[in-house]
Amino acid sequence: MQRLIILIFCSLVVIQVSGQIKNPDEAIVRTIADRIIENTTFAYRDAVSGKIFQNANEIPENVEVRFADHFTEWGYTLGVLNMAMINLGAFLKDEKYTNHPIKHVANGMENYEFFQKRFKNDRPHYRWPYGQLWAMKELDDCGAMGASVIEVNNIVNNKQYRDYIDKSANHIMKVQDRLPDGTLVRKGPHEMTLWADDLYMCVPFLARMGNLTGDKKYFDDALKQVFNFTNYLWHPGKELYYHCYYSDLDRNGVAHWGRCNGWIMMAQVHLMNFLPKDHPQRETLLKNLERQILGIAKYQNGDGLWHQVLDKPDSYTESSCTAMFVYSIARAVNEGWIDKRYATIALRGWDGLKEHKITVDGNLKDICVGTGIEDNLVFYYNRPARTGETHGLGAIIDAGIEIVKLKKSMGR
């Protein structure tokens, strides 16, 4: 029955989307992206009354607001989404998708000072609209969003954006906490904790910064992070990454969490996208990526999906990590980085997402919410999984793009 629904969905979408599209996978990606655009308001909501303000200058002095929708927020998940939208616009040659992240970045840059002037130290900066834009504290605040601003600035060339990019680079290179060997860490949840997530929160930015400036120090630091993170987090027996490493205890956490493994894989793919082909460590990076791909392949289930805790098949199947793996593997095959025989891993993953996780109206189900670190597996088992959570939307768009390319190369 589910297969029939998916087939009907694909047929309807093909009819509905821009006339002559015959590729059902492309139609699905368009529907997902169109839904995001249609539900982005760039407005603000009174936290008490729910009243909507269309621009910041309408907000009275004593009124506290939130973003009216999640897609207007300024945070790492929106950075991932912005880059995916730019990729989609370039792939489809459709400015509608490219213009969405351009408008998103412009909206943040035009409005953050309004909220910065009202800022009070009664809550963390990330609970204020655009707080992460002006008050960089962690890589979450500036890494992925900074990478997306580089992509936007490549199109619009705005000095204010370049100033933000340089500020982000300064934070990552000189301000963010590091271990003595240069590995990027956080002060929480315990002193100098290494989070697997942070490889994505720095490497895609560093790779683009190297490409933007021509300065090899950014590529060198990105490579250092990949290899150091692997040294601390990789479990050679299970061929998976741990979610964290506690430097104060010199031990790992308890979970091979799905999305953190996805962050690491996508970070390496982003670096491969920009690393000069003659870089002496490119082959070492590629071998590291291929080893991870073949490692996670062992944990794909019969529906083509991966689980919230990768080595725990009684944990729920989770969409964001599945989309990240599909994107990364399909991209690696498309670029000729790994043997084309491994394409089936990505293809089966995409089939599983279409059959079980993508809704008829272009939403994505079962995306784990933002997740911290705890030392019990129950925490990871019980993290809520929601429909439309922004943690999975950029990855599903990128996955769809690479699947369309992959099938075309295979004559499908």
Helix axis angle, 393-409 to 343-356, nearest 10°: 130
- The identity of residue 259, as a single letter, is R
Q: Show the beta-strand stretches assigned E in 193-340.
A: 193-195, 234-235, 240-241, 244-246, 251-252
Q: What is the pLDDT of residue 10?
A: 52
pLDDT computed for residue 123 by the predictor: 86
Per-residue confidence (pLDDT) for residue 18, from 0 to 100? 42
Q: What is the pLDDT of residue 120?
A: 87
> Going residue by residue through the chain (412 aa), what tens digit of pLDDT does each one get?
555 545 545 555 444 444 455 799 999 999 999 999 999 999 999 999 999 999 999 999 989 999 999 999 999 999 999 999 999 999 999 999 999 999 999 999 999 999 999 998 888 999 999 999 999 999 999 999 999 999 999 999 999 999 999 999 999 999 999 999 999 999 999 999 999 999 999 999 999 999 999 999 999 999 999 999 999 999 999 999 999 999 999 999 999 999 999 999 999 999 999 999 999 999 999 999 999 999 999 999 999 999 999 999 999 999 999 999 999 999 999 999 999 999 999 999 999 999 999 999 999 999 999 999 999 999 999 999 999 999 999 999 999 999 999 999 999 8
Determine the pLDDT at residue 122.
83
3-class secondary structure, 139: helix
Quick one: pLDDT at residue 3?
55
Nearest Cα to Cα of residue 32 among 101, 90, 98, 88: 88
Q: 19-40: b or e for each residue (b if 16 or more CB lie within 10 Å)?
A: eeeebbbbbbbbbbbbbbeeeb
* Nearest C-alpha neighbor of 186 from the set 217, 154, 143: 143
User: What's the pTM value of the predicted model, to 2 decimals?
Assistant: 0.94
Question: What is the three-class DSSP state of 45?
Answer: strand
User: Are the C-beta atoms of residues 79 and 144 closer than 8 Å to each other?
Assistant: yes
Q: How far is 345 from 342, CA to CA, in rounded Å?
A: 6
